[in-house]
């Protein structure tokens, strides 16, 4: 909880606060409630609210300071819903927003916000944060619209990994930062205050099953369209599949048509579901042997022969196996090289995730 939040606002000139915020701060002070959000967080909420299109949700209204920042940044057609379990706080907060028809304060447990939504912006400030055993984390796949933003307040900044709180691994923070359905990050708002902010991924989605398919299924279909960015595949059941360029082939190619053509039957692995677009994300190359894996298994620390494929300012790229290229950094070259030239190189490092092979001239 932001012990200093109400007082920190009170120290500011009310003339420099949005009128609704000043009203909510006055209500919090009048009721001796110190735990309002800090102004630094309030400004973040105000900015994020500007990006909401339909509805914003909040857990833990308190006396409505955070909600007032949200309302001051939200558009005229955007609704705001906040839940507060303390009936007196909920009553007073509802009075603060009495003149703003966009805002609804619900009395009761935070889970009442399920009555509205999914939300474009979801602020978890009292319930749903997963910070204690009695407070399970909110289920973003049902509460957050695809592409929507979630915000959690009140963390002490932690730059290292894993995030620590009072010397121990901060499990709640870790849960959010590693959430598969969110692109989440920690943002430092002051020396002693950080927030977690993230978006619900549009492409990865949380759905592991959709229309009778699940991740990892192998499907067969026919290529209906080839674009510079990928290929469209008609799958059984009139489902549309899509394989982006990086998922077509392990080998480097110049034009998509070098790999597949319209009318060709292809077999692919289901990677994900883009429910918004009604598309199954596919990988064609997942069913082909990865030449990098084979190279890595055999060649780390060995000396191999390769052919220069590209001369770049950072060094020269050398093809060391079919579909596998490594880099000799410029500082390790004692002479100029030309494309097509054969070189003997030492394989000094391999990183499969980054698809990088470090080479030195042997």
Ligand X SMILES: C[S@@+](CC[C@H](N)C(=O)[O-])C[C@H]1O[C@@H](n2cnc3c(N)ncnc32)[C@H](O)[C@@H]1O
Binding window for ligand X (CB under 6 A); candidates: 32-40, 143-151, 174-182, 197-205: 32-40
**CA gap 304, 324 in Å, rounded:** 12
Q: Which is nearer to ligand X, 60 or 118 (CB)?
A: 60
Q: Which is nearer to ligand X, 36 or 149 (CB)?
A: 36
Q: With CB under 6 A, what is the number of residues at the site for ligand X?
A: 20
Q: Which is nearer to ligand X, 92 or 282 (CB)?
A: 92
73-112 footprint of ligand X as x/- string (CB under 6 A): ----------xxxx--x-------------------xx--
Binding window for ligand X (CB under 6 A); candidates: 30-38, 155-163, 193-201, 351-359: 30-38
**CA gap 134, 33 in Å, rounded:** 23
Q: Are 247 and 198 in contact (CB under 8 A)?
A: no
Q: Are 306 and 345 in contact (CB under 8 A)?
A: yes
**CA gap 132, 100 in Å, rounded:** 34
| Apex 300 CA angle, 290 and 345, nearest 5 | 105
Binding window for ligand X (CB under 6 A); candidates: 95-103, 120-128, 253-261, 263-271: 120-128
The helix (H) or strand (E) run that includes residue 8 is: helix 5-10
How many Cβ atoms sit within 10 Å of the Cβ of residue 33? Answer: 19
Q: Which is nearer to ligand X, 59 or 72 (CB)?
A: 59
Q: Is 177 helix (H, G, I), strand (E, B) or coil?
A: helix
Q: How far is CA 192 from CA 31, 32, 41, 89, in A?
A: 26, 23, 12, 27
40-79 footprint of ligand X as x/- string (CB under 6 A): -------------------xxxx--xx-------------
- Helix spans in 178-328 (H): 291-299
Q: How far is the CB of 66 from ligand X (least distance, A)?
A: 3
Q: Which is nearer to ligand X, 1 or 201 (CB)?
A: 1
User: Should residue 198 be labelled a site residue for ligand X when binding is judged by CB under 6 A?
Assistant: no
Q: Residues interacting with ligand X, by CB under 6 A?
A: 1, 35-37, 59-62, 65-66, 83-86, 89, 109-110, 125-127
């Amino acid at each position: 909880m932001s012990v200093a939040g109400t007082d920190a606002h009170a120290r500011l000139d009310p003339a420099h606060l949005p009128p609704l915020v000043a009203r909510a701060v006055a209500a919090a002070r009048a009721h001796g409630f110190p735990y309002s959000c800090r102004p630094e967080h309030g400004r973040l909420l105000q900015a994020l609210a500007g990006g909401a299109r339909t509805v914003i949700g909040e857990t833990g209204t308190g006396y409505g300071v955070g909600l007032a920042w949200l309302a001051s940044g939200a558009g005229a057609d955007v609704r705001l819903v906040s839940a507060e379990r303390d009936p007196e706080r909920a009553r007073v907060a509802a009075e603060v927003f009495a003149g703003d028809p966009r805002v609804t304060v619900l009395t009761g447990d935070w889970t009442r916000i399920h009555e509205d939504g999914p939300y474009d912006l979801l602020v978890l400030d009292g319930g749903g944060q997963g910070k204690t055993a009695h407070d399970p984390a909110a289920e973003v796949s049902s509460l957050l619209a695809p592409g929507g933003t979630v915000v959690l307040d009140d963390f002490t900044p932690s730059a290292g990994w894993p995030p620590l709180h009072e010397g121990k691994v901060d499990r709640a923070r870790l849960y959010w930062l590693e959430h598969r359905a969110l692109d989440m990050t920690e943002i430092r708002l002051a020396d002693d205050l950080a927030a977690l902010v993230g978006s619900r991924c549009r492409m990865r989605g949380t759905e592991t099953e959709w229309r009778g398919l699940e991740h990892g299924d192998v499907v067969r279909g026919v290529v209906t369209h080839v674009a510079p960015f990928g290929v469209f595949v008609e799958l059984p059941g009139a489902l549309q599949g899509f394989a982006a360029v990086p998922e077509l082939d392990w080998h480097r190619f110049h034009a998509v048509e070098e790999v597949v053509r319209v009318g060709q039957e292809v077999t692919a692995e289901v990677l994900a579901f883009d429910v918004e677009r009604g598309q199954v994300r596919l990988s064609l190359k997942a069913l082909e042997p990865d030449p990098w894996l084979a190279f890595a298994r055999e060649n780390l620390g060995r000396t191999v022969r390769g052919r220069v494929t590209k001369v770049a300012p950072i060094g020269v790229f050398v093809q060391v196996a079919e579909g596998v290229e490594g880099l000799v950094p410029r500082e390790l070259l004692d002479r100029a090289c030309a494309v097509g030239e054969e070189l003997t190189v030492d394989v000094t490092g391999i990183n499969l995730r980054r698809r990088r092979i470090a080479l030195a001239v042997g």
